[in-house]
């Protein structure tokens, strides 16, 4: 029952979010420095809203996304680099916060699965392609004789 509640709540949220391209709702959320604000937006576009789960924190209207947008901007103003902020986010929310997961030991299967499944499909299909066309066995002496007789009869 609680799951359906969460599902409905996040679905509704996502519907609400879908109607706006940017959820930075009030102008005072934005940084006065346009360079920092651009950095914050590009960083926010790479981070997953953990409530809607398939939206960026920049797009989502969920309260948690708003808090995280605030943290991104706060840390940028304190002089942290985008890489440092990403590391902070990973420490707090795990790899899942990245919409594009990094290539590491943990995510290697995620990245290689398409390649692995294509290879497997190729290996499975290869015997079918490689099977030689059916070549008829040459006639035996007995068959040759029989054929010869049949032709002669006509």
Partner 1 sequence: MTLNRRHLLTLLPLIGATGLGLGFARMLQGLTTGRFDPHAINNPLTHYAVPHFAPLSGLTSSSTPQDLSIPGFSYEELTTANQPILLNIWASWCLPCVEELPFLTNLAHRHTLPGAPPLTLWGMAYKDTPANAERILQRYGQPFQRLGIDDDGTTAIEWGVTGVPESFLILPGGRIVWHTSSSLTEDLYQTELLPLLHSAS
Binding positions for partner 1, rule: CB under 8 A: 1-3, 5-7, 10, 50-51, 53, 63-64, 67-68, 71, 90-94, 96
CA distance 105 to 68: 27
Q: In angstroms, what is the minimal distance from the CB of 19 to partner 1?
A: 22
Give DSSP secondary structure letters for 31-46: -SSHHHHHHHHHHHTT
CA distance 94 to 91: 6
Q: In angstroms, what is the minimal distance from the CB of 117 to partner 1?
A: 13
Counted residue by residue, the chain has a size of 154
Toward partner 1, which CB reaches closer, 134 or 153? Answer: 134
Phi, psi for residue 47 in degrees, rounded to 5: -105, 140
Coil, strand or helix: which one is 59? coil
CA distance 82 to 75: 9
Q: In angstroms, what is the minimal distance from the CB of 14 to partner 1?
A: 12
Q: In angstroms, what is the minimal distance from the CB of 130 to partner 1?
A: 13
Toward partner 1, which CB reaches closer, 1 or 135? Answer: 1
**DSSP letter, residue 104:** S
Toward partner 1, which CB reaches closer, 23 or 49? Answer: 49
Toward partner 1, which CB reaches closer, 38 or 121? Answer: 121
Toward partner 1, which CB reaches closer, 87 or 144? Answer: 87
Taking the CA atoms of 100, 102, 106 and 112 in sequence, report the sign of the dihedral they define: positive
């Amino acid at each position: 029952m609680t799951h359906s509640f969460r599902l409905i709540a996040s679905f509704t949220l996502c519907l609400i979010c879908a109607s706006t391209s940017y959820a930075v709702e009030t102008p005072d959320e934005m940084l006065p420095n346009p360079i920092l604000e651009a950095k914050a937006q590009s960083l926010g576009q790479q981070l997953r809203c953990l409530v809607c789960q398939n939206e960026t924190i920049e797009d989502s209207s969920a309260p948690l996304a708003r808090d995280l947008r605030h943290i991104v901007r706060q840390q940028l103003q304190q002089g942290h680099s985008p890489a440092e902020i990403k590391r902070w986010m990973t420490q707090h929310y795990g790899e899942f916060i990245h919409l594009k997961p990094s290539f590491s030991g943990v995510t290697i299967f995620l990245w290689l699965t398409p390649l692995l499944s294509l290879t497997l499909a190729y290996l499975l299909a290869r015997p079918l392609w490689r099977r030689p066309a059916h070549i008829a066995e040459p006639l035996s002496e007995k068959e040759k004789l029989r054929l010869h007789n049949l032709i002669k009869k006509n």
